Amino acid sequence: MTAKLEPNVMTKVSSWLTGDYDIDTKQSIQQLIDEGNDTELTDAFYKDLEFGTGGLRGLIGIGSNRMNRYTVGTATQGLANYLNKAFPNEEKKVAIAYDSRIKSDEFARIIADIFSANGISVYLFEALRPTPELSFAIRLLGCKSGVVVTASHNPKEYNGYKAYWDDGSQVVAPHDSNIIDEVNAIQSIDEVKFEGDNSRITKIGAEVDEKYINHILSLSISKGALERQKNLKIVYTPLHGTGVTLVPALLSKMGFEAVTVIEEQAEPKGNGQFPTVVYPNPEESEAMSKAVAKAREIDADLVLGTDPDADRVGIAVKNHHGEIQLLNGNQTASVLIYYLLNAWKDAGKLTGTQFVCKTIVTTDLIDKMAAAYDVNCYNTLTGFKYIAQVIREKEGVEQFIGGGEESYGYLIGDAVRDKDAIASCAMIAELTAYAKDKGLSLFDMLMEIYKQFGFYYEGLISLTKKGKSGADEIQQMMADFRANPPKTLAGSPVIRMDDYKALTTTDFTSGTTSQIPSGEMGIETSNVLQFFTEDGTKFTCRPSGTEPKIKFYVGVRAALEKNEDFDAVYAALKDKVKSIGEELELK
C-alpha cells in the first residue's frame, strides 16, 4: 500500500481489504492502490459519512465516505440498535421510502432487511414515493422511526439516507448524536444483520397515497376561486423524480383542468441519470428551462417543478412585463405565508396563539409580515428538522400555520413534519387561482407585499470545495471570519455578530457579548456566523452539512413606493449584494 496515505486512511483501507466485504468491492480498492490513486483513496476513506442537516449523504461508491451497501448497512444497524434501546419492551415499526436515484431501491431493500432482522416491523413503499409522504406515513402508521433513501437535489452521482423519528421529523438532538454513537460502536461489518425476515416486511402504497392526498385537499382555503379558475394554465415538471406519482393527480382532484406535464421529465426511472438536466434541482434555471419554455409556448399562469424526492418546489410566474420569471425560495415562501396569514385573518382564526417558522437564513420579510398579523415567527438553524422541533415543542400551546426555508422547502399545517413539495404545489396553485380571481397575477401579489412591508432581496453565493483539501479550506474561511469580522458591508457599519458555534451574540456598538439560548426552539451549536449592519443588511456564513460547499447568504432591503419602481429598486439591491461578495472576495 502506498506510503503517502495518512495512517487513518491506511487503517480503513486495510480493514476493507481483509474484512467480510464482497469481492467486487475489494477488487475496486485494490485497483485504486495499484494505480496509485491516493486522492480517490483518501477521499473515499478519510472519514465516515456523518449525519448532517439532511442525514447521511455522499457519492455512490466504495469506501467509508461513500454511499454503498456497507455504509448504509452500518448506519441502519446503528439506528436499529438505538431504536431497540430507546423503546424497550415496545412494538417497534419503521417506514421506508425511496426516490428514483441510482441504487435507491436496492438500498431501501437492504435497510428493510436489516431492520427486520433486528426484530423491527417494516412498512416498505412498493415503489418510489415523495419524502413528505414518508413523514406522513410515520405518523399515520404509528412508527417509531423511518428512512427515506434520497440525495434530494444533488447531482446524479450522489445518494443519501434521511433518518426520521416518531413524530415524522428528521432526527434531532439527542437522537442524532446517539445514533451516530451506536453506528461508531460497530467495530466490524460482521455485526450488521443483512439477512432479512420477510415476515416482518409489509409493502404499502395506494392506501397511504389516498390518505395523504385527502389530507392535502383538506388544507384548501379558497374553494370558490378554485372552481372559478379551473382553467388556470399550469405547467408541471417532476424532474425525473417522485413528484410524478402524486402531483398531477392531486391538481386534477383540486379541479384544475389545464395542467401540462413535461412528459420527457415525467419518467422517473432513467436509471437515476436525470438525462434532461445537469442538476435535478428546481433552484437551477437550467433544470426548469423545459417547463418555462412550455409555459411561454402555451401562455401558462404558473410553472411548478419538484426535485427528485419532491420535498422542494421551484416556481415561475408571469411578471409585470408579462414574461415568465422564476421566483427564488424567499419570494415563494413570502407569498405562501402572506396568503396563509390573510386567509387565517379573514376566517377569524388568528387569536394571538398562532405561529409561523423559518430558518435564520430565510428572508426577514416573513418576520415583518408575521408581526403585522400578531403572529409569532420563530427562527431556527438551517434544516427543516429544526422547524419540526419547534412544531413539536409548541404542540398544544401554539398553532402552526406554515413555514419555510429559502432553499425551496415549505410546509403547510403540521400533519407532515418535513418540507412538503406536494402540499406546496397544491397551495401555490390555489393562491395563483385566488390572485387571478381578483384580477392579479402571483407576481402582482408579490409586489403588493413589497410595497406594504418593504422590498427584501436575498442573494446566495455558494462555493464548492471538494475533498479533504476543500473541507480544510472551508474551515479556514470560517476561522478567518471569526478572527477578523468585517467592519462594514456595502459601506454600512457591522453592528452585531451572532456566532452559533460559540452560541454568542456580540454587540460591536456597546462591546458586549451575550449567550444565545440553545437546547430548544431549533437552536443548538452549529458552525454558522451572522453579521448585521446598521442599514439592515444581514450576511451569513454557513458550511453545508450535506455537500462540499460553503454558502454565503446576503439579505438587503429597500422601500418600494409603486410598481413602476420595481425594476430600478430590484437592480439596486442586486448590485448591493454583488458588491458585498466582491468586497469580501468570496471566490
pLDDT value, residue 48 = 84
Amino acid at 166: D
pLDDT value, residue 18 = 94
Q: Are 537 and 489 in contact (CB under 8 A)?
A: yes
The pLDDT of 257-278, averaged and rounded, is: 90
DSSP bridge pairs for 403:
357, 411
pLDDT value, residue 229 = 98
pLDDT value, residue 51 = 66
Q: Going by DSSP bridges, is the β-strand pair 399-405/93-98 parallel, antiparallel, or unpaired?
A: unpaired
- Cα angle, residue 290 at apex, residues 289 and 293 outer, rounded to 5°: 85
Q: Going by DSSP bridges, is the β-strand pair 492-499/504-507 parallel, antiparallel, or unpaired?
A: antiparallel
Q: Which residues have a catalytic role annotated?
A: 152
In order of 120, 177, 179, the CA distances from 174 in angstroms are 21, 6, 9
CB atoms under 10 Å from CB of 575, counted, come to 12
The pLDDT of 184-205, averaged and rounded, is: 96
Cα 546 to chain centroid, rounded: 10
DSSP bridge pairs for 459:
554
pLDDT value, residue 267 = 83
DSSP string, 533-564: ETTS-EEEEEE-SSSSEEEEEEEEEE---SGG
Alpha-carbon Rg for the chain in angstroms = 24
Q: Which residues contact 142 (CB under 8 A, 6 or more apart)?
A: 93
DSSP bridge pairs for 581:
none
pLDDT value, residue 60 = 97
C-alpha to C-alpha distance for 287 and 310, rounded to whole angstroms: 14
CB-based burial label for 149 (10 Å; 0-12, 13-18, 19+):
buried
CATH 3.30.310 region(s) of the chain?
A: 455-584
Closest CA to 94 of 112, 71, 117: 112
CA dihedral 321, 324, 326, 332 (to 10 degrees): 80
Question: Which element (helix H / strand E) includes 130?
Answer: none
C-alpha to C-alpha distance for 244 and 251, rounded to whole angstroms: 11
- SS3 string, 166-197, reads CCCCECCCCHHHHHHHHHHHCCCHHHCCCCCC
DSSP-assigned letter for residue 236: E
Question: Which element (helix H / strand E) includes 201?
Answer: strand 201-204
pLDDT value, residue 546 = 63
pLDDT value, residue 450 = 98
Residue 328 has pLDDT above 90, yes or no: yes
CATH class of the domain at 455-584: alpha beta
Task: Give residue 381's pLDDT band: very low, low, confident or very high (50, 70, 90).
Answer: very high
pLDDT value, residue 514 = 96
pLDDT value, residue 50 = 76
DSSP string, 247-310: HHHHHHHTT--EEEE-GGGT---GGG--TT-SS--TTSHHHHHHHHHHHHHHT-SEEEEE-TTS
Q: How many residues does the chain have?
A: 587
573's grid cell = 439591491
**What's the longest Cα–Cα distance across the chain?**
73
Residue 198 has, within 13 A of its CA and on its CB side, a CA count of 0
C-alpha to C-alpha distance for 150 and 271, rounded to whole angstroms: 14
Phi-psi region of 83 (alpha: psi -120 to 50; beta: other; left: phi over 0): alpha
- Cα angle, residue 511 at apex, residues 505 and 515 outer, rounded to 5°: 25
Q: What is the pLDDT of residues 431-453, one digit of tens each?
A: 999 999 999 999 999 999 999 99
Q: Are 547 and 561 in contact (CB under 8 A)?
A: no
339's grid cell = 396568503
The C-alpha cell 441519470 sits at: 273
The reply to whether the predicted model has a pTM over 0.85 is yes
State the chain's mean pLDDT as an integer.
95
Q: What is the pLDDT of residues 499-522, one digit of tens each?
A: 999 999 999 999 999 999 887 788
C-alpha to C-alpha distance for 467 and 176, rounded to whole angstroms: 24
Helix (H, G, I), strand (E, B) or coil at 391: helix
Residue 455 has pLDDT above 60, yes or no: yes
Phi and psi, residue 308, nearest 5°: -55, -35
DSSP bridge pairs for 318:
324
pLDDT value, residue 531 = 98
DSSP-assigned letter for residue 551: E
pLDDT value, residue 56 = 86
CATH 3.40.120.10 region(s) of the chain?
A: 47-204, 211-453
Task: Give residue 547's pLDDT band: very low, low, confident or very high (50, 70, 90).
Answer: confident
CB atoms under 10 Å from CB of 134, counted, come to 29
Closest CA to 117 of 23, 195, 22, 226: 195
pLDDT value, residue 1 = 56
Query: Which CATH superfamily does the domain covering 47-204 fall into?
Result: Alpha-D-Glucose-1,6-Bisphosphate, subunit A, domain 3 (3.40.120.10)
Phi-psi region of 192 (alpha: psi -120 to 50; beta: other; left: phi over 0): beta
Q: What's the helix, strand, coil split of the chain in %, to 5? A: 40, 20, 35
Q: Are 474 and 550 in contact (CB under 8 A)?
A: yes
Q: What is the pLDDT of residues 230-254, one digit of tens each?
A: 999 999 999 999 999 999 999 999 9
Task: Give residue 55's pLDDT band: very low, low, confident or very high (50, 70, 90).
Answer: low
Q: What is the pLDDT of residues 124-179, one digit of tens each?
A: 999 999 999 999 999 999 999 999 999 988 889 999 999 999 999 999 888 988 88
Q: Give percent of the chain with pLDDT exceeding 70.
A: 98
Closest CA to 74 of 198, 195, 184: 184
Output the CA torsion sign for 531, 541, 289, 264.
negative
CATH of 211-453, one of 3.40.50.300, 3.30.420.40, 3.40.120.10, 3.40.718.10: 3.40.120.10
